[in-house]
């Protein structure tokens, strides 16, 4: 049985060029980038070149890039360390109700420490209201953390509009760009962001590596204590093979490639919707289908069909999809994103699946998936009706 992977929002397979780059690095440039001898200098050259690649991808400067173990560390660093460093200026933070757990959980800890956090609500499209943002912002606000795109429903949040509002405000602006990076053109100056988090494994790079963009002049203590790596901003010997692999993955995604992927994924969404409607299968989209959304994510509600049953049956048929964020897999907790969008009592919460496309996804993959999806949903509904 062939297996088709449609869970790319959780992680992506590494590109062949990435694997080749990492293999060469592990074989040839094994030195510690902090060492001053030839081997160390070779590794440091790879590190510098990768930093330039990352910076160029978001129109930043190389010194603005701090390598991390991934977006979770980057998010925790940007939130916890900034809050502690700036608490003399205020104790108020603004975020949204649909952030990734690596943002929400550090904020929950800060609330226990006495910080006040405003969680902006979202509508049925997974979108915040700028009027709500304006009402929440005050002279006590020291940090705003709003994701660029949501990992469960693909909504694209108004980062540039928020950045413009904060241009003359004391609050620093952080965005978790994990899902958007590799799909949207990102210019940190145009967006007005001060801090930005990214993870490599969402763009066909390796797991365990990411970066935090931090605008020049933003000073706060290192989250990880130890040596003086990363310009004294993040202790620990740099993972040169993973960093080189990350840079290789970034180099594969040109502006045209981003546009092509967005168009391709939007086409997949229409292909699925049209086929389901043609087959008379009742469903609704969680969120919206818009060209400027993160089109690799498609969340669908099938009334009367449990998420668990549908996901399990699709898996048995050879199709990998998700019930929501991979970071809450195995949890009995309902999706906080769908809860925020539709309310805690909505049947959508237990009857929805997330389909997410990737670079390798083909039209044939989607056609085969649609055929299986229609068959399984029809069978499960018939069984429930007995």
Q: For residue 71, give its domain range.
A: 16-251
Predicted local distance difference test score (pLDDT) of residue 44: 95
Q: What is the pLDDT of residues 132-184, one digit of tens each?
A: 999 999 999 999 999 999 999 999 999 999 999 999 999 999 999 999 999 99
Catalytic residues: 327
Q: What is the pLDDT of residues 330-381, one digit of tens each?
A: 555 789 999 999 999 999 999 999 999 999 999 999 999 999 999 999 999 9
Predicted local distance difference test score (pLDDT) of residue 326: 52
> In the predicted model, what is the mean pLDDT of the chain?
95
The answer on 221 and 111 residing in a single domain is yes
pTM: 0.95
Beta-carbon contacts of 329 under 8 Å, excluding residues fewer than 6 positions away, are 322, 323
For residues 380 and 384, what is the distance between their CA atoms, to the nearest angstrom? 6
Residue 199 pairs in a beta bridge with 210
The answer on 225 and 78 residing in a single domain is yes
Pick the closest to residue 265 from 254, 257, 276, 275 (CA basis).
257
Question: Which of residues 233, 251, 269 is at a domain's end?
Answer: 251
For the domain that residue 112 is a member of, what is the CATH number? 3.40.640.10
DSSP E strand boundaries for the chain = 4-5, 65-68, 92-96, 116-120, 141-145, 172-176, 195-199, 210-214, 284-285, 297-301, 319-320, 352-356
Burial of 265 (0-12, 13-18, 19+ CB in 10 A): buried
The answer on 139 and 21 residing in a single domain is yes
Predicted local distance difference test score (pLDDT) of residue 331: 52
Question: Which of residues 206, 227, 251 is at a domain's end?
Answer: 251
The answer on 299 and 238 residing in a single domain is no
The answer on 234 and 335 residing in a single domain is no
The answer on 48 and 160 residing in a single domain is yes
Question: Which of residues 229, 251, 273 is at a domain's end?
Answer: 251
The answer on 326 and 213 residing in a single domain is no
The answer on 243 and 102 residing in a single domain is yes
The answer on 175 and 26 residing in a single domain is yes
The answer on 115 and 47 residing in a single domain is yes
The answer on 241 and 351 residing in a single domain is no
Confidence of residue 219 (pLDDT cuts 50, 70, 90): very high
Domain count, the chain: 2
For residue 386, count other CB atoms closer than 10 A to its CB: 4
For the domain that residue 342 is a member of, what is the CATH number? 3.90.1150.10
β-pair type (195-199, 352-356): unpaired
The answer on 293 and 206 residing in a single domain is no
């Amino acid at each position: 049985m062939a297996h088709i992977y449609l869970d790319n929002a959780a992680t992506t397979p590494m590109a062949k060029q990435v694997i080749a780059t990492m293999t060469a690095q592990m074989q040839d440039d094994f030195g510690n980038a902090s060492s001053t001898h030839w081997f160390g200098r070779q590794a440091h050259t790879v590190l510098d070149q990768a930093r330039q690649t990352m910076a160029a991808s978001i129109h930043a400067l190389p010194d603005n890039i701090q390598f991390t173990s991934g977006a979770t560390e980057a998010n925790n660093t940007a939130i916890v360390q900034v809050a502690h460093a700036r608490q003399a200026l205020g104790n108020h933070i603004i975020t949204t109700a649909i952030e990734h757990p690596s943002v929400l959980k550090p904020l929950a800890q800060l609330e226990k420490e006495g910080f006040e956090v405003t969680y902006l609500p979202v509508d049925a499209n997974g979108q915040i209201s700028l009027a709500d943002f304006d009402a929440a912002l005050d002279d006590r606000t020291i940090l705003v953390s709003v994701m660029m795109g949501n990992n469960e429903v693909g909504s694209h949040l108004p980062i540039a509009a928020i950045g413009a509002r904060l241009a003359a405000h004391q609050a620093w602006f952080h965005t978790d760009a994990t899902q958007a990076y590799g799909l949207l053109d990102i210019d940190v100056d145009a967006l007005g962001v001060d801090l930005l988090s990214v993870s490599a494994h969402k763009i066909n790079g390796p797991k365990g590596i990411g970066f935090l963009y931090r605008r020049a002049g933003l000073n706060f203590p290192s989250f990880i204590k130890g040596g003086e790596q990363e310009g004294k901003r993040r202790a620990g010997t740099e993972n040169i093979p993973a960093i080189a692999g990350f840079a290789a993955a970034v180099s594969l995604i040109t502006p045209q490639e981003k546009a092509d992927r967005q168009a391709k994924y939007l086409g997949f969404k229409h292909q699925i919707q049209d086929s389901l409607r043609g087959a008379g299968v009742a469903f609704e989209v969680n969120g919206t289908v818009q060209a400027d959304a993160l089109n690799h994510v498609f969340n669908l509600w099938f009334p009367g069909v449990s998420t668990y049953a549908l996901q399990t049956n699709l898996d048995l048929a050879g199709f990998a999809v998700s019930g929501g964020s991979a970071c809450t897999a195995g949890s009995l907790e309902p999706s906080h994103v769908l809860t925020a969008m539709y309310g805690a009592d909505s049947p959508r919460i237990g009857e929805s699946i997330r389909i997410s496309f990737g670079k390798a996804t083909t039209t044939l993959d989607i056609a085969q998936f649609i055929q299986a999806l229609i068959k399984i949903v029809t069978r499960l509904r018939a069984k429930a009706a007995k």
